[in-house]
């Protein structure tokens, strides 16, 4: 695809070559994210970071990624603080904001809303999550992490065996990741959820149609054996029709060190898009895994900055110029990535 000036709304836009292109640019961003160097390639550019749903890492990492390329960030973090509460349409909001910015990142609780917003925008729009639908930048950073973890084991993404555990119905991160993985060869998916929270049938059908091995499991123990990646997700309580229904699924599937040792292969990589639900009744990913070297959750969040820098660099057509605007870092950097 031609990235320049494009909206990034769904992983359906990407072919395998596009993903490899994004990953090459992300690799180039490492010295800037590591604070070995700074670049001013987006000096003067403005990002509007519009989050109409809760977010910590996605919002901050998009903002930091833009800052690390030298650009400025403007933010709205609540629907309540925006004119959407005064009945303003997405169309009008998009027309207005695109006059103030060079690129817009948007998260919104309704499926399809970011695409609708993008239609009226005069600048590129990146979907940071539209309700239960999609979360393309999360899927890219997850896949980038999978690639790095597998490479460190002498493997590639092709022939990957992955278990996706938890709320596969409302989890937009798994929707996007499943679709993105389907671009690779011979992926073995184990879909582990209560029957009511299964992956939507249209996504299951598309994975099977692409020739992948897809199996559904309703028991944790049998679902997580014989896999390379164990991808755990939170129950998306905010998307359930009522709290009683959400309560029914809390804590149903919990992965801890004992369950991992008993059921998983020794080198299985553990991932989670975060936030994990650390309340006593939930704990889908137990804190006792923190010393496990296969726990990749904070490598995922670090990789998120690289992927988001790459998306901005490609969409705003500066990927080849980043190093021309580089300087050494002058302040104390804690060498936090070593
Ligand atoms: C995910 C999301 O918002 O969809 N979080 C994130 O962006 N890292 C997953 C979640 O909220 O459970």
- Residue-by-residue pLDDT tens, the chain, 338 positions: 999 999 999 999 999 999 999 999 999 999 999 999 999 999 999 999 999 998 999 999 999 999 999 999 999 887 666 677 678 899 999 999 999 999 999 999 999 999 999 999 999 999 999 999 999 999 999 999 999 999 999 999 999 999 999 999 999 999 999 999 999 999 999 999 999 999 999 999 999 999 999 999 999 999 999 999 999 999 999 999 999 999 999 999 999 999 999 999 999 999 999 999 999 999 999 999 999 999 999 999 999 999 999 999 999 999 999 999 899 999 988 776 55
In short, whether 138's Cβ falls inside 6 Å of ligand 1 is yes
CA separation for the pair 102, 65 (Å, rounded): 15
| DSSP secondary structure letter of residue 295 | B
Closest to 271 measured CA to CA, from 186, 160, 195: 160
CA separation for the pair 185, 157 (Å, rounded): 8
Q: Which of 7, 59, 107, 108 is catalytic?
A: 107
In short, whether 58's Cβ falls inside 6 Å of ligand 1 is yes
Which pLDDT does position 334 carry in this prediction? 79
Ligand 1 mutation target, pool 63, 106, 129, most atoms within 8 A of CB: 129
Long-range CB contacts (within 8 A, 24+) of 74-80: 74/46, 74/47, 74/48, 74/49, 74/100, 74/101, 75/48, 75/49, 75/50, 75/51, 76/48, 76/49, 76/50, 76/51, 76/52, 77/51, 78/51, 78/52, 79/52
Reduced to 3 states (helix: H, G, I; strand: E, B; else coil), residue 103 is strand
Which pLDDT does position 81 carry in this prediction? 62
* Residues sharing a CB contact under 8 Å with residue 209, sequence separation 6 or more, in sequence order: none
Q: Which of 39, 58, 76, 268 is catalytic?
A: 58
Which pLDDT does position 302 carry in this prediction? 96
Which pLDDT does position 76 carry in this prediction? 87
Q: In what order do the strands lie in the sheet with 188-192?
A: 213-217, 188-192, 161-165, 229-232, 269-271
β-strands 72-76, 46-51: how paired?
parallel
Cross-strand partners of 74: 48
Q: Which of 7, 135, 169, 212 is catalytic?
A: 135
Closest to 143 measured CA to CA, from 194, 183, 88, 96: 183
Helix axes 90-97, 113-120, angle to 10 degrees: 50
Per the annotation, the verdict on 58 as an active-site residue is: yes
Tokens representing residue 126 in the block: 């990146």
| DSSP secondary structure letter of residue 198 | P
Per the annotation, the verdict on 57 as an active-site residue is: yes
């Amino acid at each position: 695809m031609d990235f320049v000036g494009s909206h990034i709304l769904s992983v359906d836009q990407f072919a395998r070559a596009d993903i490899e292109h994004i990953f090459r640019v992300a690799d180039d961003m490492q010295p800037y994210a590591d604070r070995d160097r700074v670049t001013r390639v987006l000096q003067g550019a403005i990002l509007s970071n519009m989050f109409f749903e809760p977010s910590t890492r996605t919002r901050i990492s998009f903002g930091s990624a833009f800052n690390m390329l030298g650009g400025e960030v403007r933010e709205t973090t609540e629907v309540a603080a925006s004119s959407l509460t005064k009945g303003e349409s997405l169309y009008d909001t998009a027309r207005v904001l695109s006059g103030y910015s060079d690129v817009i990142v948007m998260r919104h609780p309704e499926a399809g809303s970011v695409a609708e917003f993008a239609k009226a925008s005069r600048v590129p729009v990146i979907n940071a999550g539209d309700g239960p639908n999609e979360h393309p930048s999360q899927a890219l950073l997850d896949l980038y992490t999978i690639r790095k973890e597998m490479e460190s084991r002498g493997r590639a993404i092709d022939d990957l065996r992955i278990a996706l555990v938890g709320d596969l119905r409302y989890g937009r991160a798994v929707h996007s990741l499943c679709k993105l993985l389907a671009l690779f060869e011979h992926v073995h998916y184990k879909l582990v959820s209560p029957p009511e929270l299964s992956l939507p049938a249209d996504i299951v059908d598309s994975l099977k149609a692409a020739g992948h091995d897809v199996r559904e499991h309703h028991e944790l123990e049998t679902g997580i054996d014989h896999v390379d990646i164990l991808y755990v997700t939170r129950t998306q309580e905010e998307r359930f029709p009522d709290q009683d229904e959400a309560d029914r699924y809390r804590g149903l599937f919990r992965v801890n060190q004992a369950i991992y040792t008993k059921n998983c292969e020794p080198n299985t990589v553990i991932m989670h898009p975060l936030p994990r639900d650390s309340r006593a009744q939930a704990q889908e990913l137990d804190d006792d895994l923190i010393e496990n070297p296969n726990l990749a959750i904070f490598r995922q969040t670090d990789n998120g900055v690289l992927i988001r820098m790459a998306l901005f660099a490609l969409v705003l057509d500066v990927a080849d110029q980043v190093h021309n605007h580089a300087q050494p870092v002058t302040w104390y950097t804690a060498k936090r990535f070593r």
